[in-house]
Amino acid sequence: MYLLFLLLLVLRISKGLHLAGTDQSYAQFSKWYISVNSSLELEFRTVSKEGLLLYTDDGGYYDFLEVKLVEERLRVRFNLGGGAETLNIGESLADGAWHTLKLTFLGSLTSLALDNHIASRISKGKEFYLGNFTTNSYLYIGGLPPWYKKQLANLALPSVVFEPRYSGEVRNLIYAGDQFGRPRNQDMMAYKDVRLTSQDHCRLKNPCLNSGLCLSTDQGSVCNCRGTRFTGIFCEKGLPDDELSVWGNGYLALDLGRVGHLSPPLLAEQDNITLSFKTEAKDGIIFFSAYSGDYMSLYLSKGEIRLDLRIGTGRLKTGVSKKRFNDNEWHTVIIHRRAVKVTLEVDRTHRERWTSPGIYNLLASTYVYVGGVPDKLTHVHYRPHNYANILPSANFIGCIKNVELRADSVHIYLIQLGKEENSLVSANGQLEFKCNAHFAREIQHDVLLTRFYDETSSGAVTFTRPQAFLRIPGFGDERHSQISLRIRTLEHNGILLYSPGQGGHFFGIEEFASHLYLHYNLGTGHVKMRISGSRVDDGQWHLLQMTRRGGEGNISLDSQSQTFKIPGNQRDLKLMEYMYLAGLPPFQVPHPPQVWSASLGLGFVGCVRDLIIQGFPVQLNELAEEQDSGSVKPSCNTPKRSCKETSCEHLGVCLEGWHRYSCDCTNTGYTGPSCNRESSTIQMTGYEDMKVLASAQSDIEADDISVRFRTVEPSGVIFSTSDDWSSDRLEIALSRGGLVLTVRMDGHESVMLSGFGLDNGNWHTVHVVRHGRQVLLEIDGASQRSETLMSSTPILKRARYSIGSGIASSQSYPNFSGSIQQVIVNGRNLVELERNQLLSNSELTARFKLNIEVPFHPITFASEQSFLGLPQLKTYYDLNIRFMFKTKERYGLLLYNGGKHSDFIVLELMDGHVHLLLSIDRKSVELKDNNPISVSDNQWHTLTISRIDLDTVVLSLDDSSSRVETGLSNSSLQLDGLLFLGGVRAEMFPELPAGVFSKNGFKGCLASLEFAGETVEALESAVLPSSDINQGCEEERVECRDDTCGNLGTCRSRPTPTKICNCDLTSFTGPKCLDESVSFEWREKTGLIKYEYTIGRFERMDGDVFALGLITPLPDSVILRIDHKNDNTYLELTLADGKVVVTFYSEKKEIVVRENSQKVNDGKYHVVRFSKIDNHALLQVDDYQVKSVVPTTATRRNPGGAVKLQIGGKWNQLLGQVQRPFQGVLAGIVYNGVRPLDLVKQRKGGAVLMGDVRLLKQIPFNYRERNLDLFERMQQTDSSSAPGVQDDIIIPKCTSRRKNLNSKCYQYSGSGDELITPVYNSPRLEVSTTWTHPCLDDEDCWQMVAEGSGVNVEQETTTIHPYISATFSTFEEATYPESTEYHYETYSPIYPSLYYTTPQGGRMEESPPGGGRSSYENYDQKYNIYESPEEMDPETNPRERVKVTNLTGTLLVIGIICVVLSAVILIIVIVMKMRTNTDSVAKVPESKTFLPEETDANVFAAKPVKTNSSKPVKEWYV
Q: Is the pLDDT of residue 403 over 80?
A: yes
DSSP label of 1515: B
Q: Is the pLDDT of residue 1316 over 50?
A: no
Q: What integer is the mean pLDDT of 814-833? A: 93
pLDDT, position 311: 77
Q: How confident is the model at residue 507 (pLDDT cuts 50, 70, 90)?
A: very high
The set of residues, in sequence order, having a beta carbon less than 8 Å from that of 1360 and lying 6+ positions away, is 1064, 1232, 1233, 1234
pLDDT, position 1195: 53
Q: Name the range with the highest mean pLDDT among 353-362, 990-999, 1069-1078, 1262-1271.
A: 990-999
Q: What integer is the mean pLDDT of 520-545? A: 89
Q: Is the pLDDT of residue 253 over 90?
A: no
Where is average pLDDT lowest: 632-641, 1091-1100, 1311-1320? 1311-1320
The set of residues, in sequence order, having a beta carbon less than 8 Å from that of 539 and lying 6+ positions away, is 488, 489, 490, 638, 639
pLDDT, position 1221: 93
Higher-scoring residue by pLDDT: 1482, 392: 392
Q: Is the pLDDT of residue 377 over 90?
A: no
CB half-sphere exposure, 509, CA atoms < 13 A: 20
CA distances from 100 to 81, 170, 367, 830 (A): 28, 10, 32, 80
Distance of CA 352 to the CA centre of its chain: 24
Q: What is the tens place of the pLDDT at every residue in 1423-1469?
A: 343 333 333 343 334 333 333 333 344 445 467 777 778 788 888 87
Q: What integer is the mean pLDDT of 572-576? A: 88
Question: What percentage of the chain exceeds 90 in pLDDT?
Answer: 30
pLDDT, position 1486: 36
Q: What is the tens place of the pLDDT at every residue in 1124-1176?
A: 877 778 889 999 999 999 998 766 778 888 888 888 998 899 999 998 877 68
Q: What is the tens place of the pLDDT at every residue in 875-915?
A: 998 999 999 999 999 999 999 999 888 899 999 999 999 99
pLDDT, position 823: 95
- 509 backbone dihedrals φ, ψ, rounded to 5°: -135, 130
SS3 state of residue 1340: coil
DSSP label of 218: T
Higher-scoring residue by pLDDT: 602, 411: 602
Mean pLDDT of the chain: 77
The set of residues, in sequence order, having a beta carbon less than 8 Å from that of 991 and lying 6+ positions away, is none
DSSP label of 445: H
CB half-sphere exposure, 1108, CA atoms < 13 A: 28
Q: How confident is the model at residue 1023 (pLDDT cuts 50, 70, 90)?
A: confident
Peptide bond into 1055 cis (omega under 30): no
Higher-scoring residue by pLDDT: 1406, 851: 851
pLDDT, position 1360: 30
Q: Is the pLDDT of residue 579 over 50?
A: yes
Q: What integer is the mean pLDDT of 238-261? A: 76
| 215 touches 100 (CB < 8 A) | no
3-state secondary structure 498-565: EEEECCCCEEEEEEECCEEEEEEECCCCEEEEECCCCCCCCCCCEEEEEEEECCEEEEEECCEEEEEE
pLDDT, position 1437: 40
pLDDT, position 510: 94
Q: Is the pLDDT of residue 487 over 80?
A: yes
Where is average pLDDT lowest: 99-108, 173-182, 951-960, 1296-1305? 1296-1305
pLDDT, position 1011: 94
Higher-scoring residue by pLDDT: 1377, 1199: 1199
Q: Is the pLDDT of residue 1339 over 50?
A: no
Rounded Cα distance, 485 and 472, in Å: 13
- 554 backbone dihedrals φ, ψ, rounded to 5°: -140, 140
Q: Which of 805, 851, 1082, 863 is nearest to 986 (CA)?
A: 863
Rounded Cα distance, 424 and 1006, in Å: 43
Q: How confident is the model at residue 265 (pLDDT cuts 50, 70, 90)?
A: low
* Angle (nearest 5°) at CA 685 between 683 and 691: 65
Instruction: Say what the pTM is.
Output: 0.48
Q: Is the pLDDT of residue 824 over 90?
A: yes
pLDDT, position 212: 80
pLDDT, position 1448: 40
Q: How confident is the model at residue 429 (pLDDT cuts 50, 70, 90)?
A: confident
Q: How confident is the model at residue 1037 (pLDDT cuts 50, 70, 90)?
A: low
Q: Which of 1275, 1349, 1347, 1265 is nearest to 1317 (CA)?
A: 1275
